Structure 1
Amino acid sequence: MNSEIKVAPLLFVALLISPLLSQGQDTPVRNRELKGRIVETGEGIPNVHLLNLSAERATITNADGYFSMDTRVGDTVLISAIRYERKTFVVTDQMLESSGLQIEMVPFVNELEEVVVRPYNLSGKLDEDLLNLSVEEPVTAASLNLPNAYAKKRTQAERQLIEAKTGGGLIPLNPVLNAISGRTKMLKKRLARDQAYLQTQEVRARYADSLFVSELNIPEIRIPDFMYFCEMDSEFAGLADSEDLLKMWDFLKAKGLEYRKANELE
């Protein structure tokens, strides 16, 4: 009889605390979309890189500074952009639930201690020193008003093509001989190839290599080959000339799928 009286309270306590124990069990954390805007004094900043260091993912802001990326509560995100101080933050529930998240960036300023440089009495503050310092105007083609002062410097391929198409005398033989031999045609192809290569390199420089690896799943060693693959598409040159980073990124994502499938990288 006494043993039954002792067991009943123990059973009651076990039933009471079992729901509390089940609530304390770990539940799987799911990915959620973090949306926001990177700004400076209220203006959106384009082409800002956001790297989720915890999940090894990355994204880039669009032309108006907006971004979205998959994250989890507790992930650490690094924000990196030219001319701005780097910033890191830890993702919280409030951030994920916010519909108007804005992250203010601070322009990078390399401050120096105040110094005085003799004999010019320079303080190290450029804006003040430029006003107080008397500097003679350098001698340049522009200051001398020469005809070629603002002429664009030609590449080697451009100079060779001009040389092949010009010549002196009553009947210039140089253009005729180069046309017959095929040298002019060859130089035109070389110039077009050089220009296309430079354009491709400019496009690649707009995005960090980490984005090609993390977002497009292109191995770093194959990025040059992938860019050449994109260059062969007829839409590439027009998008490159437009300098629309968002449209070009959409194009690169689509080409990334084609490239991985063609090279069996899936």
Structure 2
Amino acid sequence: MRRILLLLFFLSSLSIVAQNEDDTVVGELTATVVNAQSGFPMVSVHVINLNKVVGTITDQKGKFTISATVNDTLYLSFLGFKSQKVRVTNDMFKFEDTEIALTELAYALEEVIVRPYQLTGYLEIDVKNLPINNAYQYSISGLPTSYEGGSKSPSAVTKVLGAILNPADLLRNLFGKKPKQMRKLRQMKEDDDIRNLLASKFDRETLTELLQLEKVDIEDILNNCNYSRSFINTANDLQILDAISSCYEEYKVLNRK
């Protein structure tokens, strides 16, 4: 009886070890992305491994190959389709016929009324009718950068004074709380597939997934790094990434001091 119990214990231990080994599968994962409605393969879908911060795109047959580990998260994005996150499992390595379906988004376009400026042809009158940009620039002698203010930015003067008293404080509260996410910035900038994806997007969704930040956090970072509201609203995701990266490099220099 004792021998039987020992044998069962030995077999169960082997099973646990084998399972642990399966859970740490690392390699090149191959799968196919298809249209959920038609079933046709989708070309040029961007696929990003959020854990390893590497990216790729699907080929003419909808296939992609990417470096991955079990339990990594893949982020798939394509214009006009709902972005999707997929967790990597053991069977995705064992079988190369894995399919990932993306669902097309339905956009309801609202009526847009274009109101052109009512120009008269007289310079003195037309100048008065044009909108005025109230985004003032505050600058102080000795500081290399200026600080944008305006009616919607009452803290502009506070930013200037804060930069004089202790410049690192403006960034430490933002970057210091998320050092792991900020370390991904360099990896993101070096991957051409990720950069090409970000250059075509303006919704900040990919950035929030990669950096594990909320959209409001991204706006706070750029506000504290003296980027204007117009830049924050109109820049593509790659420009936002480069802006955050340069601001982070500035933070690291100030933090050393």
TM-score (norm: length of structure 2): 0.36
Larger Rg: 1
TM-score (norm: length of structure 1): 0.35
